A and B are shown apart, each in its own frame.
Chain A
Amino acid sequence: MAQQLDQANDIDGATLIEIFRRSMRVYKTDERFRQMLMSGKLRLVYYPVRGQEVLSASMMSALNIDDYLVTTYRGVHDQVAKGIPLKDLWAEFTGKVTGTCKGKGGPMHITDPDTGVMVTTGIVGAGLPIANGLALASQESGDGRVTVVCFGDGATNIGAFHEALNLASLWKLPVIFLCQNNRYGEHTAYAASTSAKQIVDRAPGYSMEAVRVDGNNPIEMYNAAKTAVDRARAGEGPTLIEAMTYRMLGHTFGADFSYVPKELQEEAKANDPIPAFRTLLLDRGVGEDEIAAIEAAIDAELDAAVEHALSSEYPGLEELRIDVLKEEIRA
């Protein structure tokens, strides 16, 4: 990992710092959720993203704020990297009326159109056909937006994946299929569920551009993301990116993780993308003080977000009748 980082030197310093800032924003958010769950201050079903921070940060740094994102229940890294204000996200995760969705969606259903987060789905694979629709809207209106849909390696075994790739390729939609291959679908290892040797092997069947990269390497990941974004924006069609990563914790917070071989965990810890990224920055001459300042700013935002979430009100019970249909349901 460190070696690969040393070799790559083709993105500018400002972009690299931005990817790092987003990575740390994800890392610290995820860490804080787990701390508060551990201490009993929060109670919710939480899908950890430890180990997948740099992947998301690199992808989202290649997008504009108004580009569209569709993600899944394990999506807090994607949402935070895309730029959702942490106070809105935290309030939604805690079911408060000040949340992105007034507390009515919750962690698995984050929507924030202001930052392009259009759909978060709890149904594996369901985001891909919807991403096509968002991209279709951009293709028809000519608004120049690109849509990114994130999903795991497990989602490539469900029918919606195949229907969506076929349609996107057929219609040359400005959409990027970002497969975050974290090597496990829930508790089942990749090889036990997936017949293809690698996910990119599925793209030629749909005549689709595809690339497999180390998603934990910010430079490799950003370059793949940027290439796909540029292609989509130029009207050259979709790309499937298989970004290799690793889910360092269980499927949900506190879930059994004993099915993962010890050696794999050891290897993952040795290749943890966050310390590696820090080393990369230091190697490239970024000062400790600059890194500390970035982290301090995130800590401050996070402290304020948690405080805001905990002190906010729950939605009023009239919300049961609101947003079911456009017109309020009669009491």
Chain B
Amino acid sequence: MRIGIVSAVVPLRDDEAVARGVALEERLRAAGHEAELVLLPFDEATEAQLVQRAAYRAMLFAPHYDLVVTLRTPAEVIRHGRKVAWLADDPLAPGGEGTLLGRALVADLARASLVGLREARCVLAASEGVAEGLREAGLQGVRVVAPGDWDLVVGAVLA
């Protein structure tokens, strides 16, 4: 299988997602698949949050990969018929204080992530805390699969 491991990454910062992606890439190759890590640049501070997500979603992955695994949010918004989301953070956490406009944006971003996650055939959480948040937001069937438990990770991805 040709597998794309897709993560949003703030360049030269998001070491966790990159490390997790590299490790997963190695193990999927060891399992006999073609796998590659695709990093998408992300700026979490700009106002252009919806713009970035729309850009991600407009990218074509389906012709090139049989399966995609998304890591750091908001990579889960990409389109693919066979998508597994493996989250280390909860993108659906309700926003806190802020301006009306700021809270409207947070709500829209959560909505966008929900659209992406509902399309996934499988949503994995890297911790119980993240899993709880996703379930509370209405996602069904969220499994906890921690990095390091690689047999479980690969099994869940390829299931």
A binds B: no
Q: Which residues of chain B have a CB within 8 Å of any CB of chain A?
A: none
